[in-house]
């Protein structure tokens, strides 16, 4: 027993290394708890009160904020818009960087040039991008209507049309590019060349190579990007707000905009906190389901 205890004792060097590691970790842990987990707990706490910012926390109301929220039709419309944004993003935008990375992997000359071109798009501020696309969608002098008229179509109101506004907000994402292309390209290039050579000997080339070699070997990064894309889109606020401020007639009001308006327009902190908590719960459930499904497929 004494020999076992002696083995368990750390040497002075090992003890100093462990302490040094914790010294580097503790600031990050404290910052994460303070800036991430504390606001989450604070939001749930605020949702239980008729929160008064002047003399917090105000009157305790329990779950009444949630009950009032679920009876608000505008809240459910915001949820519908949020899921519509999610559907359009996954349908039109999510797979673009993956396709770009696959094509970049197939070329030898000019790969660095095209990779740089795709990465440059991340340097353009979102506000500038929105300004450009708002000009494109302008019903009077925008390029979109000019193209429609050239092919014999009728001019559209685009961002002012409730049936088209969500499509117009998501559509700029088809340009693709950004860091996601580099992530996919790095994962693809990390596949062993022996696998490619063995597949080529078996006649697995072209589209079959993409389906049977590339996609299965980079599924981990695709799943991670899918989860992050869903989380980001469910929290969408800045893009539709800059495009239409949630209009027309609430057609582009995401749950993020609903929460923002509840705070800064209605000054109803309890309701906004309750909406934030429900959004967090739904995103957490979707994330867990996505990860579980991926594990089950892998098994």
> What is residue 266's three-state secondary structure?
coil
Tell me: the pLDDT tens digits for 237-294? Answer: 999 999 999 999 999 999 999 999 999 998 899 999 999 999 999 999 999 988 887 7
Higher-confidence residue of 80 and 21: namely 80
For residue 49, which of 269, 276, 255 has the smallest C-alpha distance?
269
Tell me: the pLDDT tens digits for 200-224? Answer: 887 877 888 888 899 999 999 999 9
Planar angle of CA 286, 289, 291, nearest 5 degrees: 110
For residue 41, which of 236, 280, 228, 255 has the smallest C-alpha distance?
280
Q: How far apart are CA 118 and CA 185, in angstroms?
A: 12
For residue 69, which of 289, 285, 288, 281 has the smallest C-alpha distance?
281
Q: What is the pLDDT of residue 295?
A: 67
How many Å separate Cα 75 from the centre of its chain? 21
Tell me: the pLDDT tens digits for 54-72? Answer: 888 889 999 999 999 999 9
Confidence of residue 188 (pLDDT cuts 50, 70, 90): very high
Q: What is the pLDDT of residue 297?
A: 52
């Amino acid at each position: 027993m004494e020999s076992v205890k002696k083995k368990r004792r750390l040497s002075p060097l090992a003890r100093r290394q462990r302490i040094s590691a914790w010294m580097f970790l503790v600031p990050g842990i404290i910052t994460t708890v303070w800036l991430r987990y504390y606001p989450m707990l604070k939001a749930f706490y605020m949702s239980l009160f008729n929160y008064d910012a002047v003399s917090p926390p105000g009157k305790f109301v329990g779950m009444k904020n949630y009950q009032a929220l679920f009876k608000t039709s505008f809240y459910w419309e915001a949820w519908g818009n949020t899921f519509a944004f999610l559907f359009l993003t996954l349908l039109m935008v999510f797979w673009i960087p993956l396709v770009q990375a696959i094509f970049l992997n197939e070329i030898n000359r000019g790969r660095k040039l095209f990779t740089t071109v795709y990465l440059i798009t991340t340097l353009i501020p979102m506000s500038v991008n929105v300004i450009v696309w708002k000009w494109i969608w302008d019903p009077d002098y925008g390029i979109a209507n000019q193209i429609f008229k050239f092919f014999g179509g009728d001019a559209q109101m685009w961002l002012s049309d409730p049936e088209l506004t969500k499509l117009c907000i998501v559509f700029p994402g088809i340009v693709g590019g950004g860091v996601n292309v580099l992530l996919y390209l790095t994962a693809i290039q990390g596949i062993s060349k022996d696998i490619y050579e063995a597949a080529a000997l078996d006649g697995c080339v072209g589209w079959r190579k993409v389906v049977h070699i590339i996609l299965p070997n980079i599924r981990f990064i695709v799943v991670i990007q899918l989860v992050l894309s869903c989380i980001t889109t469910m929290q969408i606020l800045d893009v539709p707000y800059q495009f239409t401020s949630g209009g027309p007639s609430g057609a582009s009001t995401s749950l993020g905009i609903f929460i923002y308006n509840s705070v800064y327009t209605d000054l109803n902190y309890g309701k906004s906190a309750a909406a934030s908590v429900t959004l967090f719960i739904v995103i957490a459930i979707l994330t867990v389901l996505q990860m579980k499904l991926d594990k089950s497929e892998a098994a």
